Chains A and B, each alone.
Chain A
Amino acid sequence: MTDVPATSGYDVLVIGAGVGGMESALSLGDMGFKVLLVEKEASVGGRMILLSKVFPTLDCASCISTPKMAAVGHHPNVRSLVYSEVDEITARPEGGFSVRLTQKPTFVDAAKCTGCSLCEPVCPVPVPDEFNYDLAGRRAAHIAFPQAVPKKAVLSRRGTSPCSFTCPAGVKPHGYIALVRAGKYDEAFRQHLEDAPLVGVLSRACYAPCEESCTRADLEGTVSIRGIKRFMADRYYAAHPEPEYGPPKVLSGKKVAIVGSGPSGLTAAFFLAKAGHTVTILESAAEPGGMLRWGIPSYRLPKSVLERDLKNITALGVQLHTGVKVGSLEALRSDGYDAVFLATGTVGGRTLGVSGDHLKGVYDAVGFLHDVNADAPPDVAGKNVAVIGGGNVAIDCARSALRLGAKQVYLVYRRSREEMPAHAWEIRDAEEEGVHLACSWDVDQVVGYDGRVWALELVGSSSTGGKGRKQALARDESRRETLPVGAVIAAIGLTPATSPFSTEIARAANGTVKATPETLQTSLPYVFAGGDDVLGPSSIADSMGQGRRAAFYIDRYLRGVELSGTVFDDPLPEVDRAQVAAEARTDAPARLPVPAPRLAVGDRIASFVDFEAGLTEEEARANANRCLDCGICSECRQCVAACPADAIDLGMRARHETVTARSVVLATGFSPFDARQKPAYGYGRLPNVITGPQMDRILAPTRPFNAVVRPSDGKTPSNVAFVLCTGSRDDQVGNRLCSRVCCMYSMKQAQLLMGSLPLADVTIYYIDIRAFGKGYEEFYRQTQGMAVSFVKGKVSRIEPTDDQDLLVHYEDVEGGGGEKVARHDLVVLAVGLLPNTGALKLFPDGAPASDVHAYISEPDEELEPGKTSLAGVFVIGSATAVRDIPDTIVHSEAASAQVAAFLKRPGAKA
């Protein structure tokens, strides 16, 4: 933006690059002073550039503004910083001011962006366009408006969406939801694939913490995020039986061994291979997948889905060696591997540790599920089965037992149902299918008969208080029960398979490998570990997250880059979910959840087929449409792909800067009156009641609709009313003052309307017509001459008709008095302008004085325009009193003379 070398010492800081701020910066720059112009929006130009034409000359607002906008961008003495905020201004002991400011991240490298706009059409997130006063939409990736200076794209980001922030695997659900919503299913899949390769697995078997964090869950119910993912994965896999890519072209020459092909091993392999390393997975079992293959029953994860996911990894050239047992890390080293990722996963469970726990018919969960998945299940048909444990594995065992034809299945858990670690919906599904919960029971002994399980002896048990699994248990001997069972499955804790390496790397007492949590590097520098090996038994998503993290640091290790000094994943802070939910609570109809259809219970437990059907395209999109776009930008990265200049930088963060300035000009403008504060006028409720600024957008050359139409039905209005003094001269809304510009801008709009709709009737309801400036009265006469009708009278309320026309009730002051009603098909509220008090917060040591109306005051308004109560701090334009454009410009130029005199005062130090 700036042609001026950044310096930290300025003569003048101008806050606000509206028409006044620009004029001030330019006139001071012309006098030779070094000016820093700070604007909070993404473009200079303020409100004026958004107008259509300007009174009384009917010049095009763009034509007047753009040269000034371009000039501040190129003036040798002016540095302009857009999308920036001044945080604090303090007086320096040696004179002048110290100014702390923040350049907000645009997530677009301004030096690279050419303003080509290619990022806009690919962005799937619609946002109301504030530069069109919400009349139309824009995208999260956008350029403020066509004449923006600088013409650079900005990504609107409010933070990380809760779903994406929550995902332990590093997936960005918001991104693919937004793409599915836009019908870009393949793009959605590819976006997911960038973050995690096991798309199908996650779409079936993930516990979906994203859904719990979904803001919509606070309203009508969560977006079915996993359902959307399954839709997009199924659809993609049906169309693409093979991946669309092959091995990378450029290889690093480094070799990595990955021990174990579970979710963390596969994920690490994927990212390392993409980075160009030669990756070999060493798997001890006969087939790859680890827990995904052997631990998850196929009614939850069909094997075909896993097989297709595996191709995502092997297509990159990853070698998968099965049936290979690794006994020594050193051996791998000598085999030529430059790094090792240890991801062996968990092998087996603990035994129950009670008498009878070795009887026939007692199984450990891992073994049981393995045999089920290997199609060699133990025979439990017709038997009563007890599953011991309250976790997700226990649930899988119980539901598998049902599908194997068990007579009754009991889930025995030592604590209360509320304390069960399994996901609530899993418990619910299990119960629905007929699993009996036996909570607050502990196993006292397994009773055998003839070497086989015959019954379980249960004893009462409960937590001693509090919550969680760390609480001590208390046995309640008064409660005892004998449960006749033919099989017992112990699902009470799994152990990592790290024992072969106990002499080579440091391990904790529970068998987990000691690794630096950030880098996952172990005590042997070339060995990294992750997944269950580090975390203990953990979810698929957690394990995948570990694999991705390990790959990131292994890659750095292989490239010889310091592991420290970086952060693996540095998302923007999570958005305030409560605030997003609050903003979403409107009168709009509820958006109810669209659940995935399921098989009937009887059909479900008859076999190991998928128990849930996928969403249809309509259902998936309906679901995606329920997304609230919490973070605004969805991080889908379509813009990254579309940008020819490689300018998008999602990692950009706010930049803070402290500069000095010898003087300060406050050019912070006004706040428009919020017409919702006049509920009787219906703004926000009645679509055809719009505000003056919106009407200006409709009439502007860069108008959103390219025609004058009313919002409700796009009809060309034929009878338009302007209601003056909306929010001005009105004690009810707390603004007694006149806003100066509304009479004139309404007459201007009336004239423009008459120009484009010559047959339309235009009525202006007014109290007084205040056409006081040079050429204004003449403009009023001209408007009268165009047959605009002027009605003196205050409008009391506006009501809709059935066809969205409007009944305007008004006091007919000069037509005999009393309330009258007139019908119009579009009503424009000429909203007034209010003080913008934001600038006063910038001065911790005492702000400039303000007047009774809350405007920044000029203590000697007559002779010292622009001077505030603080020496060296000046105020211009509407920040001190509402002004029209000509008056603002004159006032700004006047203040510049004051600033110049201040800077050149005797004794002033340059």
Chain B
Amino acid sequence: MTDEKSRRIGVVVCQCGGNISDYVDTEKVREAASHEPGVVSTQVQMFACSDAAQQDAIREIREKKLDGIVVCSCSPKLHLATFRAMAERAGLNPYEYTQVNIREQCSWAHTHDPAGATAKATGLVMAGIARTARSQPLEPIRVETLPQALVLGAGVAGLRSALALSDLGISVHLVESSDHAGGQVMRWGDLFPHDKVGAELVASLVAEVGRRENIQLYLGTELVEKSGRVGAFSVRLRTFTGDQIPLKVGAIVVATGFEPYTPKPDEFGYGLPGVITLPELKEALARRPKPLVYGGREIRSIAYIYCVGSRQSADDGTGHAYCSRYCCSATSHISTVVNGLDASVKQYHLFRDVRTYGKYEALYESALRGGSLFLRYGEEAPPVVRSQDGALVVQVKDRLLGGEEVELRPDLVVLVTGMVPRDNAALTRVLKIPVGQDGFFREVHVKLRPVETVVDGVFIVGTAQGPKNVAESVQSALAAVSKAGALLLKGYVDLDPQVAKVDPNLCVWCDECTKACPYGAIDRVAYGDKEVAEVNPILCKGEGACVPVCPKQAVSVLGYTHEQVTSMIDALAKEAV
């Protein structure tokens, strides 16, 4: 092991253009770092991540022959990869790099205490230096990837991503839990904005899937087990007959879709005859009834109530706070479809905000041109739907008329229901991917990695990730394909070498670590005349559950060895005194 006193460490303190330096005295932090043993170079940069600042750091690494570098900036979630790549370009082993988070943990957390934020940043930097002083070069674990993908869900997003993967020469196992492919779109008629028929659209995809030799469609089948790692997952499917199918795949695309919101009994009169949901209306209109009849009665007027199951105040904790995105455009569109069937039907839209974003504004315009009336209700005074003498009565305070109470007697009340997440609990358990507060699967970062999850090689697409229309679902489906393509076409992937390692001399095989490991990455092997634990570095995620349970301190995680962590704690403690 290198003697930390002889190390040549560089420290870069980032101002993040004020995000950090508005609260943390970056010059003071740099100054403190410069006195640490082993530190031979310190810099302050406005944006350490900018290309120019990276060039500066690279020059410093080369000229001063640095053997370790610490960047004090933001969360490693944002820029760990950035600076590792920088170290690599400079000829430094990327695992000799330590990121210290003085933004989320200091400047942003302590905006009212600049001195405290600075002191905390200094402590964290000292700890980072201590860790780096005991770092060792590590080589990534290169493993092969299989040109096979598992796609969960054969709705429009799943079907389209299966085809796109197949286009790239990646074999696809397309798994659908129901007994037919096509998803929700299958039941819909005209879709906005181009009046394509939903059923025809998915039918064309299903037919094409059938023609592809490298796509295998499994109906009535579910994923029940997943293990392994990115590039080579072992999965197990269970068919509706109970058969188990084991597969090896390189990547998994989750396209399990949404559920339409089902109003609670009596929510806006749901349950009364003539009160239906938007999907129900869409399904009805797909049959193009003429004259317009629903449930046996002729429809002369329709009242749409928007935002049912969406944009609900989160106060009671049960509602859906988010906007379902597609419903305003879909409802504007469907009113023009109604117009096309019978232009004399009166249509009232009880809305909150008309969210026909972008080009969909044209749909709203068409609805207005078609004679639709828009009445705005406030969240605090939702419309009331009741039945009176067998007829429907809708009362609403129209904010556009200064809150005047308006009473409508429509033949049909359509509750414009949003999208809600499916019950993903089982899948979440199997895949270990997180869901967000809204209940939909959560991406790593909405801008940096919008279809990737925290589990490498598992992607989320379509409405499983959040409300989307057809085109948007397909876009995310294909986005995942380009990411999976980048992963699988290369044929290999480099895994993080910061994994656990057992010192066989200390290990006495007590089995504690095996029990703690969630990945089954620890094997029992012979070592001389005893048995010891050995970590399979390909399966290990480096999360370190095995470390604290070991009574002999025989196991530690590379990059976070006992010595490193102890020295970090010492450095922090020293600063606190």
Instruction: Identify the A interface with B (CB < 8 A).
Output: 27-28, 30-32, 54, 56-57, 59-60, 62-64, 66-67, 69-71, 73-74, 115, 146-151, 700-702, 729, 736-740, 768-778, 781, 792, 813-817, 853, 855, 861-863, 865-866, 881-883, 885-887, 889-898, 900-901, 904-905
Contact = CB atoms under 8 A, between A and B. Distances in A.
B504 interface: no
A869 to B, nearest CB: 15
B485 to A, nearest CB: 5
24 contacts: A31-B482, A62-B47, A63-B79, A66-B49, A66-B51, A67-B82, A70-B82, A149-B51, A151-B55, A701-B16, A701-B17, A701-B18, A738-B360, A774-B466, A777-B311, A781-B321, A814-B402, A817-B402, A885-B447, A893-B478, A893-B480, A894-B482, A897-B485, A900-B168
Contacts of A776: 323
A57 B450 CA distance: 13
B17 A60 contact: yes
If over half of B's interface residues share one DSSP class (helix, strand or loop), that class is named, otherwise mixed; here it is helix
A893 B479 contact: yes
A894 B205 CA distance: 17
A147 B479 contact: no
Given A890-B479, A901-B168, A62 B17 contact: yes
B357 A70 contact: no
Contact of B164 (A30, A146, A881, A901): A901
A897 B479 contact: yes
B485 A862 contact: no
Interface residues of B, number: 83
A901 B376 CA distance: 46
Contacts of A771: 323, 353, 355
A775 B446 contact: yes
Contact of A863 (B355, B361, B466, B474): B474
Given A862-B474, A863-B474, A60 B357 contact: no
Interface string B505-517: 0000000000000
A115 B325 contact: no
A772 B323 contact: yes
Most B CB within 10 A of own CB, among A777, A815, A889, A891: A777
Interface of B: 16-19, 46-47, 49-52, 54-55, 74, 78-79, 81-82, 85, 89, 160, 164, 167-169, 191, 193-194, 196, 201, 204-205, 310-311, 314, 321-323, 325, 328, 353-362, 365, 376, 399-400, 402-403, 438, 440, 445-448, 450-451, 465-467, 470-472, 474-483, 485-486, 489-490
Most B C-beta atoms less than 10 A away, residue of A57, A775, A890: A890
A887 B475 CA distance: 9
A738 B168 contact: no
Given A66-B51, A70-B49, A861-B194, A773 B325 contact: yes
Contacts of B78: 63, 67
A883 B359 CA distance: 10
Given A66-B47, A701-B19, A898-B478, 16 more contacts: A63-B19, A63-B49, A146-B46, A147-B51, A148-B51, A151-B50, A768-B353, A771-B355, A792-B399, A862-B196, A862-B470, A890-B450, A890-B451, A890-B475, A893-B450, A897-B481
Contacts of A57: 445-447
B257 to A, nearest CB: 16
Nearest to B378: A814
Contact of B51 (A27, A150, A737, A855): A150
B446 A894 contact: no
Contacts of B451: 890, 893
Given A890-B451, A893-B482, A861 B471 contact: yes
Contacts of B400: 813-814
Which of B19, B52, B54 counts the most A-chain CB atoms under 10 A from its CB? B52
B74 A54 contact: no
Contacts of B19: 60, 63, 701
A800 B466 CA distance: 45
A738 B363 CA distance: 11
Contacts of A889: 447, 450, 479
A786 B489 CA distance: 48
A73 B51 contact: yes
Contact of B47 (A146, A150, A855): A146
A345 B475 CA distance: 79
Contacts of A63: 16, 19, 49, 74, 78-79
A865 B479 CA distance: 10
B359 A853 contact: yes
A769 B18 CA distance: 31
Contacts of B480: 893
Contacts of B321: 777-778, 781
A89 to B, nearest CB: 23
A650 B291 CA distance: 77
Contacts of A700: 17
Most A C-beta atoms less than 10 A away, residue of B322, B446, B465: B446
B380 to A, nearest CB: 13
Contacts of A886: 446-447, 450
A900 B485 CA distance: 9
Contacts of A147: 47, 50-52
B325 A27 contact: no
B298 to A, nearest CB: 33
Contacts of B89: 74
B459 to A, nearest CB: 11
Contact of A32 (B46, B440, B478, B489): B489
A770 B353 contact: yes
Contacts of B485: 31, 897, 900
Contacts of A815: 402
B457 to A, nearest CB: 14
B333 to A, nearest CB: 13
B151 to A, nearest CB: 13
Nearest to B311: A777
Contacts of B18: 701
Contacts of B357: 738, 740, 770, 772
A526 B356 CA distance: 81
A147 B428 CA distance: 40
B50 A66 contact: yes
A897 B354 CA distance: 33
A451 B74 CA distance: 102
B339 to A, nearest CB: 19
A777 B376 CA distance: 18
A891 B55 CA distance: 31
Contacts of A777: 310-311, 321-323
Nearest to B169: A904
A896 B489 CA distance: 14
B205 A863 contact: yes
Contact of A59 (B193, B362, B447, B472): B447
Nearest to A29: B486
Contact of A905 (B167, B311, B356, B466): B167
B193 to A, nearest CB: 8
A866 B470 CA distance: 14
B447 A30 contact: no
B535 to A, nearest CB: 30
A295 B267 CA distance: 104
A768 B354 contact: yes
Nearest to B481: A897
Contacts of B471: 861-862, 865
A791 to B, nearest CB: 12
B545 to A, nearest CB: 30
A597 B358 CA distance: 63
A855 B359 CA distance: 10
A772 B325 contact: yes
A814 B400 CA distance: 5
B361 A738 contact: yes
Nearest to B59: A114
Nearest to B202: A863
Given A60-B17, A63-B74, A894 B355 contact: no
A740 B359 CA distance: 9
A866 B471 CA distance: 11
